[in-house]
Amino acid sequence: MKNYFEFYGIKQQFFIDEYQLKQDYLRISKENHPDFFIADEQRYEKALDITSTNNTAYKTLKNFYTRVPYVLKQHNLLVEQENTLSPVFLMEMMEINEEIMDLKINLDAKRLELVKTKVIALENECSEELKNAATLADRTTDMEDNLVIVQKVKEFYLKQKYVLRLKESLNTFAPL
């Protein structure tokens, strides 16, 4: 797998110049459009490969929320089925999930609004913590300190994934 940051020649960070990324994406797309190389089979194949990488890299890096898991994977910190979240947080998520399940059985508009408010507050909190930790990680040059901070980014990213799943469950309710 190619490193998408290296592909674009930019420093691996959580926050990047998204405008410059788009300009690089468009430039590479234009320079390597396969239709320009239809007569040269070898160059055509190379253009297809570059175009494919360019499209995937841009899709991955173009926004913060798709870039975070990619950076974490680059640090070998996202392992499937790994659970490093605190039991307190997981218990809170389980309680909210149980409330949602109860609401699916016995809908109560007031309770539903309370749960929605709670989940939105958690989502905002997780998003803010994630962005703050990512900003700190980008600013930290010491590798040891950076790894500790990137671990925090991972924690907030995983928490946010839980909260977003709860939000998706709430979105299955018909509008009140």
Domain 87-170 class? mainly alpha
Nearest to 124, CA basis, from 156, 99, 92 = 156
Q: Which helix (H) or strand (E) holds 81?
A: none
- pLDDT tens for the chain, 176 residues long, are 689 999 999 999 999 999 999 999 999 999 999 888 989 899 999 999 999 999 999 999 999 999 999 999 998 888 765 667 899 999 999 999 999 999 999 999 999 999 999 999 999 999 999 999 999 999 998 877 888 899 999 999 999 999 999 999 999 887 65
* pTM, full prediction: 0.84
Burial 126-157 (b: 16+ CB within 10 A, else e): bbebbbebbebbbeeeeeeebeebbebbbbbb
Residue 26 burial (CB count, 10 A): 12
Three-state DSSP state, 15 = coil
Q: Tell me the per-residue pLDDT of 89-133, one tens digit each, with 9 for 90 and over.
A: 999 999 999 999 999 999 999 999 999 999 999 999 999 999 999
